[in-house]
Amino acid sequence: MNELPMQPPAHAASAMPLAGYRVLDLTIARAGPVAVRLLADWGADVVRIDPPDRKPTLGPRRGSDEQNLHRNKRSLSVNLKTAEGMRVLRQLVERSDVVVENFRSSVKERLGLTYEALRAVNPRIILASISGFGQTGPYAERPGLDQIVQGMSGLSSVTGEPGRGPYRTGIAISDTTAGMFLGQGILLALLHRERTGQGQWVHTSLLEAMLNKLDFQGARYTVEGKVPGQEGNSHPTLVPMGTFAARDGQVNICGPGAAMWGKLCEFLQAPHLAEDGRYKDQPSRLAHRRELEEAISAITRQFDVADLVERLNQAGVPCGPVYDIGQAFEDVQAKHLRMTRPAPHAELGALPLLRSPINLSGCSHPEAFQRAAPDAGEHTNEVLRELGYSDASIAAMRGEGAVA
């Protein structure tokens, strides 16, 4: 077991940008928790609502995935199917700034978690919702999963080698992207409320997030009517930009502009490529991409990865190794950036979890997370006492099954 780190000083949380804001987390799966994690990492007091009978959806609560998603949160286990449980939720809504959820519309209606219902309890409340396909429309009630949306957004169609796809990306990109966008939307709504005093409903979906994430390839269709296809490890429009073989591995090389192309040919000692009319400019290189990539790989195979990376970057041609995840975290630059911070867990020890990638000059990252992800109901008594419940009342509620 790792030794527990020193807890961050008490003033650390109060100095964070979102200190003083309370967030209720009613989400499940990945996209919603990603949004809430942004708020928790930057100082918001997040109370996660865990139904007594909820089973973790992403592995055990003390597993790496759940720990990384739910650090810096507290957990209140409350049964929203009971009148007393709903009363507790309403009290929390009265005292909160943001409620985050990913229920279907019909479930929101049944639980009284629509924006209209919450606004009646707290006019300043911000409801943040995430769904698979949007809050309205023919697919609004469909369950939305990352791989389903990767396919429906067109992302899978441009992923993989030509003629060998479609492929899903190796990460849950629609979940995490939608969560990031919802987190940004919450911050925008908080800024708007600071100016107007008004809460609002902010929402996004996995499908909206991924259609937006298509970016320039999406715009190629909406503006030019072109449907991009698979290009494997090659850039869709810039040549040469892709993955090339080395003697002991693979590298990514970027040399599409005239200056970089000239420097690349010089380094490779390949004047025949620089002088070849098929490769004289970007349109010509794009038209003869496959021949050019094979010609470059025939030369780069004569070099080690480290040699290519060092010497091409010195020459002004961007080049980097192709790592596995372990190598990526052990790289000297990743080590310098200190992308993990310890989260103190009473039984698991100090868990090295991934920090927020946002860096603020006026508010540095704490040396440790405030807390590891809680067990379900770990803070039930604590949160209820904050609401004014006595120990006797809490015990009675436990006996009735309203909380756990």
The DSSP secondary-structure symbol of 372 reads P
Q: How many CB atoms lie within 10 A of CB 181?
A: 22
Under 8 Å between Cβ of 166 and 228:
no
Is 391 designated active site?
A: no
- C-alpha distances (whole Å) from 275 to each of 102, 242, 261, 272, 316 are 58, 21, 11, 5, 20
Residue tagged 């009971």 (tokens): 82
Q: Are residues 221 and 228 in contact, defined by beta-carbon separation less than 8 angstroms?
A: yes
List residues bridging with 48 in a β-sheet: 25, 75
Tell me the C-alpha distance between 153 and 148, whole Å: 9
User: Between the CA of residue 98 and those of 190, 266, 393, what are the distances in Å?
Assistant: 9, 57, 27
Provide the sign of the torsion angle of the four alpha carbons 241, 243, 245, 246, taken in this order.
positive
User: CA 342 to CA 340: how far, in whole Å?
Assistant: 7
Given the residues 45, 65, 175, 391, the one annotated as active site: 175
**Nearest Cα to 31, choosing from 117, 143, 151, 111?**
143
How crowded is residue 249: how many other Cβ atoms within 10 Å of its Cβ? 13
Look up residue 39 and give its amino acid.
L
The CA distance from 171 to 267, in Å, is: 35
Q: Which residues are catalytic?
A: 175
